[in-house]
Structure 1
C-alpha cells in the first residue's frame, strides 16, 4: 500500500509506470479470482485503492500546471 505523500514526490513518468504496473496486477488478480486460485481476495481491494490514489495524484499534477 502506498501513501499519497510518497506518490506526490514522483514525476509524471514514474506515476504512469506505477499505474501501468498496478493495472497489470489488478488484471492478474481478477484472473485468479475467476479461476478460483486467489485465496486472499482483499488484495483486489488494496490494488483498486492504490490505482485510485495514483490517478488522484496524477489529476492533482495536471491541475497544478
Structure 2
C-alpha cells in the first residue's frame, strides 16, 4: 500500500487540526516546489527503470492533503 507522506508530515497535521477546530479561516493556499532532481535516479544513486512526472506526482500532493479537512 502506498500513501503520500504529506499526510503524516507534522506541519500538515498541525494545520489540519487547526482548520478542523475552525481557528483560522483559510482564504488562500500558495505552494512552490523546488526540484533538484532532474534524472530518474533513486536517492541511493541507482537508475530507475521508469520515468515519473515530477510536477504531476508532487503537484497532486497539495490538493490531496487539502481535501482531507
TM-score by length of 2: 0.33
Q: Which has the higher helix share?
A: 1
TM-score by length of 1: 0.35
Name which structure has the greater RCO, CA cutoff 8 Å, separation 6+.
1
Bigger Cα Rg? 2
